[in-house]
């Protein structure tokens, strides 16, 4: 994902694809859980893992392999 750090417009496109990928795999409800956990003071990484069952880094690696 290093290339995305230098291509700002692509970050939004890839973010949209990543969100769609998460919704396809987990449904929409885990997104609400992320915000609930954030409201309880959890870090975004912990909130993500609680909601989607994997760390953000694990998701990034799998996502990059799937769409690279």
Per DSSP, the residues of 1-40 read -HHHHH-HHHHHHHHHHHHHHHHHHH-SHHHHHHHHHHHT
CB 58 within 8 A of CB 45: no
Low-confidence stretches of the chain (pLDDT beneath 50): none
CB 26 within 8 A of CB 52: yes
What pLDDT digit, counting tens, does each position of 41-60 carry?
Answer: 999 999 999 999 999 999 99
Q: How many distinct structural domains can be found in the chain?
A: 1
CB 48 within 8 A of CB 55: yes
**In this predicted structure, what is the pLDDT of residue 65?**
94
């Amino acid at each position: 994902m290093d290339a995305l750090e230098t291509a700002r417009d692509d970050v939004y496109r890839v973010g949209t694809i990543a969100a769609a990928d998460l919704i396809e795999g987990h449904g929409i409800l885990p997104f609400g859980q992320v915000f609930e956990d954030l409201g309880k003071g959890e870090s975004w990484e912990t909130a993500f893992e609680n909601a989607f069952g994997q760390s953000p880094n694990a998701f990034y690696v799998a996502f990059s392999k799937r769409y690279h």
